[in-house]
Amino acid sequence: MSAPFSRFIPRHFRDPFGLAWRVANSGGSEGRFALLSVPLGVIAAPLDLALQPTEKDAYGRYEQPQRPMALVCGPSRSGTSVVTAALIRTLPVGYVNNLMAAFPRSPLAANRLFRMRLNNQKVGLKTYYGRTSGFGAQNDGLFLWDRWFGEDRTNPRHRSRPE
């Protein structure tokens, strides 16, 4: 798979059109939203790049968190999406959403820019292989993991700090 789309489709994947066909026919609204995320990420790239300086400035202004950080991690199909959704629905937590995934270089700036559109969205428990529907719904945050381990998830490399 070519480098521009490796963020959305793993490099080792050989049949993206077959995958799109299968997801469109069996994935429900969550699968269709996942398919929409690929062109959306490409279209959003110029704005993502433009927001990047604002994002970096904001990082310097944020204080250390006062509460502990909880990361929900686990292997595929182990229930991490359901656990994450339950935590989001019941506790006052921050979380990575689908809009942030469309803006990997400036996720916080994008959330601030589009916050009015996100306020009324509910987090649901339904997923399609971990993919959720709606910009305000939880996301697996692979773009964040990629900062440390690289984009090729079949051959991770150790990194001590994000790019």
For residue range 49-87, list pLDDT tens digits in order: 999 999 999 888 888 888 888 889 888 889 888 899 999
Residue 105 in any domain: the answer is yes
**Euclidean distance between CA atoms 39 and 102, whole angstroms:** 10
Into how many domains does the chain fold? 1
**123, 103, 101: which is closest to 113 by C-alpha?**
103
Q: And the tokens for 8?
A: 């959305």
Q: What does the pLDDT read at residue 50?
A: 97
pTM, entire model? 0.78
Residue 69 in any domain: the answer is yes
Question: Quick check: 48 pLDDT over 80?
Answer: yes
Residue 155 in any domain: the answer is no
Cα torsion for 56, 62, 67, 73, to the nearest 10°?
0
Q: What does the pLDDT read at residue 38?
A: 83
Residue 159 in any domain: the answer is no
Q: What does the pLDDT read at residue 161?
A: 55
Residue 53 in any domain: the answer is yes
Residue 154 in any domain: the answer is no
Residue type (1 letter), 94: G
**Residue range(s) defining the domain that contains residue 83:** 3-149
Residue 114 in any domain: the answer is yes
Residue 160 in any domain: the answer is no
% the chain with pLDDT above 70:
82
